[in-house]
C-alpha cells in the first residue's frame, strides 16, 4: 500500500493554497456522500491502525472555542479508529495573561520566555493546571477518556537548563541565563505507553523536572518532538498559526525531503522562526519518525484532514524523495 505522505501519485491537493480559518458548520451532505467519504478514508484508517501519532496543540486553535471543539472531536475519532493519539499542548498566551494579571514582568530571548522562580511557578500552574484540564474536559465532552499529566509524572521527561544559545549573528554558542527553561535530556515514555494501550488518551503539559529536582519550562514543540522521536511515532503533527512553509512566491510547499528542507534554509527561503521549527522536524525524522507535518491549526478538523484524506493542510517533512525512494 502506498504511503499517502511519501509518494508522488497521491496528491496532497489541499496544500495548494492557505486555508482561511472559519467557524461555519459544513453543509449537510447526503447519506451516499457520507458513505463515499468513509470508504475513501478506509486505506488511511488501515495505515494508522494501532500506530502512535503525537500531536502538538497550540496557537489560535487553543483560543477559539469552535476550533478547540473540532480538535477534541478529531482526537476522539482517532482513538475510536484504533490510532493512539498523544496530545502535547502549549499555552503561551494564557501564561502571558496570568503573568500580566499578577504583575510579573516577562521577557523573551530568541523566542524563549525568560523564566525566573515566580514565573516558573505561574507556568506550571497554567500549563499543568488550567490549560491541561480544559483540554482534558473538551475531549471528555466529545466522548473520549482523556487523562492529564505533565513531564514530571513518572519522570516522563527529565530536562536540563538551557545555558547556551546560538548567537543570531555568528551562529556560535553564547552563554546565557534565561532561568528555569529546559531542553530534553531524557524521555521515559512508560506512563504514556500505559495510558495509550488502554482506552485513555494522554494530554501532556510541557513541564519537566531536572535531575536536581528543579521545575523547568520546556517549549511545547521541543517537548512533542523529543517524545515522538523516543516513541518512534508514525507521525508528529505540529499545529501552528501559519499555512506551512512558503516558497519565495509565497505559495505553500506541500512536502519536503530533508535535503530539500536544508537547501531552502541555506538559500533563505525558509527564514526567521520557521528555521528552528524545520530543523526540529529534520531531527525528528532522522530519529525514526516517518514524517512530521506542520499543520494549519486554523482549519477546522485539520488533524482528520491530514491523516485520513488526501487533502493536507500544511507542509510535510519526510525521508523519501518525490520518486518514493529513500533519500
pLDDT tens profile 12-51: 544 444 444 444 445 566 777 777 777 777 778 888 889 9
Instruction: Please determine, looking at this structure, whether the domain spanning 36-318 carries the CATH number 3.40.1160.10.
Output: yes
Q: Is the pLDDT of residue 285 over 50?
A: yes
Phi, psi of 208 (to 5 degrees): -125, 170
Compute the distance between CA of residue 91 and CA of residue 301 in angstroms, rounded to an integer: 20
Q: Is the pLDDT of residue 223 over 50?
A: yes
Least confident of 127-141, 191-205, 265-279: 265-279
How many Cα atoms are found within 13 Å in the side-chain-facing hemisphere of 179? 18
Q: Is the pLDDT of residue 263 over 60?
A: yes
Q: What is the mean pLDDT of residues 298-311?
A: 88
Q: Which residue has the higher pLDDT, 16 or 147?
A: 147
Q: Which residues lie below 8 Å from residue 80, measured CB to CB, with a gap of 6+?
A: none
Q: Which residues lie below 8 Å from residue 119, measured CB to CB, with a gap of 6+?
A: 99, 104, 106, 113, 179, 180
Convert 44-73 to b/e letters by CB count within 10 Å (16 or more is b): beebbeebbbbbbbbbbbbebeebbebbbb
Residue 3 has a pLDDT of 41
Q: What is the mean pLDDT of residues 208-234?
A: 95
Residue 102's pLDDT band (cuts 50, 70, 90): very high
**Ramachandran assignment for 143, one of left (phi > 0), alpha (psi -120 to 50 degrees), beta (any other):** left
Residue 108 has a pLDDT of 85
Q: Which residues lie below 8 Å from residue 42, measured CB to CB, with a gap of 6+?
A: none
Convert 114-133 to b/e letters by CB count within 10 Å (16 or more is b): bbeeebbebbbebbbeebbe
pLDDT digits (tens, 9 = 90+) for 116-126: 999 999 999 99
Residue 316 has a pLDDT of 94
Amino acid at each position: 500500500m502506498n504511503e499517502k505522505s511519501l509518494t508522488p501519485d497521491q496528491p496532497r491537493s489541499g496544500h495548494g493554497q492557505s486555508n482561511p480559518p472559519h467557524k461555519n458548520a459544513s453543509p449537510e451532505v447526503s447519506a451516499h456522500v457520507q458513505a463515499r467519504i468513509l470508504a475513501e478514508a478506509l486505506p488511511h484508517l488501515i495505515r494508522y491502525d494501532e500506530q502512535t501519532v503525537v500531536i502538538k496543540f497550540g496557537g489560535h486553535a487553543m483560543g477559539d472555542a469552535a476550533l478547540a471543539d473540532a480538535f477534541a472531536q478529531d482526537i476522539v475519532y482517532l482513538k475510536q479508529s484504533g490510532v493512539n493519539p498523544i496530545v502535547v499542548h502549549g499555552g503561551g498566551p494564557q501564561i502571558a495573561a496570568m503573568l500580566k494579571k499578577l504583575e510579573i514582568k516577562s521577557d523573551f530571548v530568541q523566542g524563549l520566555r525568560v523564566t525566573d522562580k515566580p514565573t516558573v511557578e505561574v507556568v506550571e500552574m497554567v500549563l499543568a493546571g488550567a490549560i491541561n484540564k480544559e483540554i482534558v474536559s473538551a475531549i471528555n465532552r466529545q466522548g473520549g477518556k482523556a487523562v492529564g499529566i505533565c513531564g514530571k509524572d513518572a519522570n516522563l521527561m527529565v530536562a536540563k537548563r538551557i545555558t547556551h544559545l546560538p548567537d543570531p549573528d555568528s551562529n556560535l554558542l553564547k552563554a546565557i541565563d534565561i532561568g528555569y527553561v529546559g531542553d530534553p535530556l531524557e524521555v521515559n515514555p512508560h506512563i504514556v505507553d500505559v495510558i495509550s494501550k488502554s482506552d485513555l488518551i494522554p494530554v501532556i503539559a510541557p513541564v519537566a523536572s531536572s535531575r536536581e529536582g528543579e521545575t523547568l519550562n520546556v517549549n511545547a514543540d521541543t517537548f512533542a518532538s523529543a517524545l515522538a522521536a523516543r516513541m518512534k511515532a508514525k507521525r508528529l503533527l505540529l499545529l501552528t498559526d501559519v499555512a506551512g512553509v512558503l516558497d519565495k512566491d509565497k505559495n505553500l510547499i506541500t512536502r519536503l525531503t530533508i535535503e530539500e528542507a536544508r537547501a531552502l534554509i541555506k538559500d533563505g527561503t525558509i527564514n526567521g522562526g520557521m528555521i528552528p521549527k524545520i530543523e526540529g522536524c529534520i531531527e525528528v525524522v532522522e530519529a525514526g519518525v516517518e514524517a512530521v507535518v506542520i499543520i494549519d491549526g486554523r482549519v477546522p478538523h485539520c488533524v482528520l484532514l491530514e491523516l485520513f484524506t488526501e487533502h493536507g493542510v500544511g507542509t510535510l517533512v519526510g525521508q523519501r524523495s518525490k520518486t518514493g525512494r529513500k533519500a
